[in-house]
Every structure is written in C-alpha cells, then in structure tokens.
A and B are shown apart, each in its own frame.
Chain A
Amino acid sequence: MGILRFLAAIMLAAACALYGQERIMVMKRRMVEQELWQQKLLLLKGEIQYGHTSLPELFSYLGKTQEYRVDQFFLSLSEHLAKEQLPFYTIWKQEVEELVKYLDISIEPLVLVGQQLGSVNRQTELKNLELYMQQYERELTQKRECFREQKKVVRAVSISFGLALMLLVI
C-alpha cells in the first residue's frame, strides 16, 4: 500500500512537471513562429527590393512549407488574391485578424502595412516594410524577455505543484 502511494505520488509529480514542460513547448513554438514571421518579412523585403515578383507569387513562395501558422497566412493570402477580386487591403485585413489571434502580435502596425503594400513604388514599399520591421524587432525583443521569464515561472510552478501534490499523497 505504501509502495502504491509512493508510486502515485511520483506519477503525480511527473505529470505536473510534464504539463509544465508541455506549456513551455507551446510557448516556445509560438516564439519560433514569431521569429519566423521576422524572417519571412526579411525575405519579402528582399524579393521586393531585388526581384520583380508579384505579391501573389511571393506569398505563395513564402507559404510553401505550410508547416507553421505564418506559412498558412501567406498561402491563404496568395489563394485569396488569385481567386477573389477584392481590394488587397480587404483581403490583408481579414487574414491579419486571424493571424494575430494566434501569433499574439500588435495588429495596428500590420494593418497599416497592408494599406500601402503593393500600391506604392519600390522605395516607399521598402521604407514602409523597414519601419514595420524595426517596430517588430522591438516587440520581439520584449517577447523574448517575456518568454525567458515565463519559462522559468512555468517550470518552477509545475515542479513545485507536483512536489506539493506528492507530499500530500505521501
């Protein structure tokens, strides 16, 4: 009986620790997506600066791996632009509203980017993107700090909770 109780306590502690680890993995994946968003923007900027690729084609290329939510955002944009005849800003805003729910980034600067994306000359296009990327870099730095802190907290809480349950059971 004592052994069973001991085993149960260990399993409870392990479960709590694993749950904490799972939450950390989710936060980490979100962090990866946010870093990926930055990389995709850099690619977008590079293609606009050096290539003559149209936006629908560019978005299709950026979303081709389809592994992350960010990829799906670009792919969905590309598909909507190809199929529907709507102003770019309308389609962009719809997709951005879905993206920010998952990615937890500021929506207003992104919406502002969409107001001019594809409808101004190259120089202005690049300046707009650069401005947004600078703003996003600041936001990302804060999020990295936040993630580091949250990781510690979640780990500590999950392990502590597990130990507390273990003690209760024993």
Chain B
Amino acid sequence: MEFIGIKSSFFHIYENRCKGGIVLGREDKVLTILPNEIRERLVKLLSEEAKLQEIRLRSGRPLAVIYDNREYFIDENGNATTNPRQGFVVRHKWIRETMEYVSNYSLYAYEEEMRQGYITIEGGHRVGLAGKIVMEGEQVTQMKHISFMNIRLSHEMIGCGRQLCRYIVEKQRVYNTLLISPPRSGKTTMLRDLVRIFSNGEGLEQGYTVGVVDERSEIAACYMGVPQNDVGVRTDVLDCCPKSQGMTMLLRSMAPQIIAVDEIGGSRDLEALKSAMNCGCSIFATVHGENMEEIRTKPILRSFVEMHLFQRYVVLSAGAKLGQVQHIYDDMGNCIYWGKQETA
C-alpha cells in the first residue's frame, strides 16, 4: 500500500520561502464552495493550505490535490496517497453542487466567465471548468455538463518581491522588467508582490500609480470588481480585459506610472507595450520560459530583447521554492545578479 508519510507535516505551519515574507491564504472561502462530503476529506489539507495549490474534482474519478507541487489522491479518511485506486471517488452530483456554490446559485450570471473556462470566487481562488462546449460557428457560446473542476488556490507571498527592488529601481526611475519562469514557479506571485510594493512605496522613495491589466483575474483576482489580493493602495485594475486593449485604456484614462501585465507573447502585446513605453510608462510583465536563451529563440520575444524594450530580465528558478530568483540580466544581456540564495 502506497501511503506517503506527509500526514505529520499537515499540522505544521510553514513560513514563506522568501525571507521575511508571510504567506496568506483564504481557505475559508474554498470551504464554502465544497459539498460536505468533499469538505470533510479536505479539512486537514485546508488547514495547511499554504502548500495546497490545487483541488481537482473529476466526475467518477478519485479526488486529487496538488500539494507542494506534487499530486496526491485523497482517500476515504482524508489522507493523502499516491495510489489512485485508494482515492475517494467524486460523484457527479457533488460537482453539480459545487457549481451551485461557485456560481452563487446563478449559473446564468456567469456565462461570460464560463466561456473563458473559469470563474473567480471570493478570496481570489480560481475555479477552472471543463465539460461539453457548445459552439456557434467558431465562437464558444456556452459550456454544459460540467464534469471537471480545478480549484486553484490563491496564495499571496507578501514580501517576496522586496529582493528585486534594488535591481529594478534607480533613484526614482523604474526599469521595464520582464519576469521569466516556467509554469508554477511563482512569476505571477512575484509580479503581484512587485505591484503591491511599488504601489505602496514600500522601502522606496515614493509610491507609484500602478495599472494592472488582469486578463485572467490572476494578479488582483477581482471578485465583483474588488481585488481579493493585496495589490497596493495606488493600484487600478482592469479585470478580464485583453492585454493590448487594456494597456491602451489604462494609458488614456488612469495615468499609470507603471503597468503590470501577465504572460505577454503576442504581436499585439508587443505593439501595446511599445506604445506604453513611449508614453513614459514603466512595464512589469511576465513570460513563460526557462531562461534568457529560450526567450531569444522565440520570434516575438526575441524582438523584445533586440529592441532593448526591457532593462531588466529576472529569471525565476523552477523547483520547489516559489519566487526564487536565479538570475537578473540588464538590457545588454549582462548578468547583474547570479545566485540561488535569496537576498535581504
């Protein structure tokens, strides 16, 4: 019988991996959207939700979680195991019930979000959905028979961005900064904390007006228009807005000093970024990638580098520790920070 001995670790409290930072969680909001049968089996994990990243509900399949970047199945007694046969099977009616709670008993009010494939709930957690898609021509019009859900827990790591401040601001000039990392390595988390730090002026000479284009509601995680994450006192958020249009709108109306966007890569993004930079705005952005070399091989991203659009490239390391800075490069490609240790 495969049983992973992590049960004892569920009752310890873990600090943030970044020095001096604090992990915040909102497990109570996640509890409210789960049916009793599933909640009972996850209550242990949710008390240690700092490492709990995802909860996966699949109709007729065992209940699964991603905990500390590893996948486990939850058995009848709420214990974690790697053997799927021992997993507690999720019934379809519980998925339907979860949908009721997620949508506040009003699925009709979330049609637009469902077309995107997810709903953001209070607490900033994102519930990904999968089921039968109904198309009209080439447009997704609705999703029916939802049988798969992925609840991604929102985690803030307050303070994880402090280590970058000395490299991306000089006197009052904020450098255009690109965060590079593979998936699930903390680039959005880092971006969020940078937004917060600069908006509040924490440890800086001044606070900055920050505009966030939150296309997938991951940075601020707005619920009913209110950011569920702490993004600072001087931050304005455009929620669920395409990046290129959002940047233009922010420039026209909100006079941001810094614009933050997540996961750039398209040609429209490039045009919008150039436009924003020409207006004197600093940019914080993230992109998928393992390292600088990979960025240079991708056509659109390569042009970013060649045009010296960004003055700082921050490469985050893939691995167990979120938000760990591996390298920082300047616009000429010189490495100005090299290390695996966090700095003060």
Contact = CB atoms under 8 A, between A and B. Distances in A.
B61 interface: no
B245 interface: no
A118 B108 contact: yes
B180 to A, nearest CB: 38
A55 B142 contact: no
Contacts, number: 47
A119 B131 CA distance: 14
Contacts of A121: 107-108, 111, 142, 144
Of A53, A118, A125, chain B has the most CB atoms within 10 Å of the CB of A118
Contact of B109 (A52, A81, A85, A88): A52
A14 interface: no
Contacts of B48: none
B304 interface: no
Interface residues of A, number: 17
B105 interface: yes
A52 to B, nearest CB: 4
Interface in A99-138: 118-122, 125
Contact of A118 (B100, B111, B144): B100
Given A88-B100, A119-B99, A122-B111, A54 B105 contact: yes
A87 interface: yes
Contacts of A118: 100, 103, 105-108
Contacts of A56: 104-106
Given A85-B32, A85-B36, A119 B109 contact: no
Nearest to A118: B105
14 contacts: A53-B106, A54-B103, A54-B106, A54-B109, A55-B104, A85-B36, A85-B101, A87-B96, A87-B97, A88-B100, A118-B107, A119-B105, A120-B107, A120-B108
Given A85-B32, A118-B106, A118-B107, 4 more contacts: A53-B106, A55-B106, A85-B101, A122-B111
